[in-house]
Amino acid sequence: MGLKVSVIGAGGLGTAIAQLTSVNTDSVYLHARRKKVVDDIIKTGYNTEYYPNLKLADNIIPVDDFSHIKECDIVFFCVPSFGIRNALKELSNYICDDCIIVSTAKGIEYPSLNTMSQIVVEYFKRSPVVFSGPNFAFEIALSLFTIANIASDDVKSLEPVKKVLTTDKFKAKVNNDVIGTEYCGVLKNINAIAYGICEGMNLNDNARYAVLTKGFNETKDIIESLGGKRETVSDYCGFGDLVLTATSRESRNHTLGMLYGQKIVVDEKASGIIFEGKNSIKAIKELCDKNSVNSTIVNFVYDVILNLTPPKIAFNNLWDKIE
């Protein structure tokens, strides 16, 4: 009998992961918080809010309750980092002891400074598998060529997760650095904001890529100070995700940086737009200060986004420190 999988969260990434893993599993339960989403998928076979032109696999079962989870071998948490704790609370009575938990969220809980895997351990007393890479959800959903890193302190969990993810188009590369893999997923957002600020200011290409290079190198210093491995920053979850998120117009954090580079201050509450990178800035700045790491890129982004320093002044301060 094949593996059974649950995906918590029927948004862009959750639906993409469900479509991906459906190839290698008997059944995939796709959990949506809203019954309307479940009813639409049952009726049409499409998640019209995210992928109106993508017919979902027949073995994807949309649900709005958790009763099915006890029979699943692997549970993917595909909810934003700010929602992970509430999701874990809701599921704490349903996930069995031998079920593998996969965390896809990229972020740090603020102000606790806990990573997503640390929050999972808090509730389930075991290490999850961390999923991270240069991945746009819609490309995974469309079965385009993609690769991601998976990491866990529980080594035996990695092979089953790799098995359900791997297709002729999708590769899952195992590494042994949970700390580095998770923090790469956070720091790429800060680098994306920095690059976006420079683009919003209409800075020349040479300057923008100098800033990106500086951020890449400082990411190694930060991750090493937190107990991760420098070489992880050169892997797909590091360099690949950093470049993808920093330079693509599809990236929300790149967009956030561009807006601030144009002196447009974003009112997130009024607009309904949530940029997880903003909390990441505060968290990473605290961690850098705590570990005596002086990151010019983190300071630059913190000054522009949180101190509301004019971008030109903040960039000149940054440029003076680049060697």
Q: Which residues are catalytic?
A: 188
Q: Residue 129's closest CA among 83, 167, 84, 160? A: 160
Task: Give SS3 for 170.
Answer: strand
The helix/strand/coil state of 84 is helix
Bond from prior residue into 111 cis (ω within 30 degrees of 0): yes
Q: Which among 141, 135, 116 is positioned nearest to 10, based on CA atoms?
A: 141
Backbone phi, psi, residue 121, to 5°: -60, -35
DSSP character for 8? E
CB atoms within 10 A of CB 43: 10
Look at residues 106, 306, 322 and name the one whose alpha carbon lies nearest to residue 208. Answer: 322
Apex 103 CA angle, 102 and 107, nearest 5: 170
Mapped onto helix, strand or coil, the DSSP state of residue 320 is helix
* Phi, psi angles (nearest 5°) of residue 8: -95, 110
Distances from the Cα of 70 to the Cα of 34, 156, 168, 249, angstroms: 21, 20, 30, 40
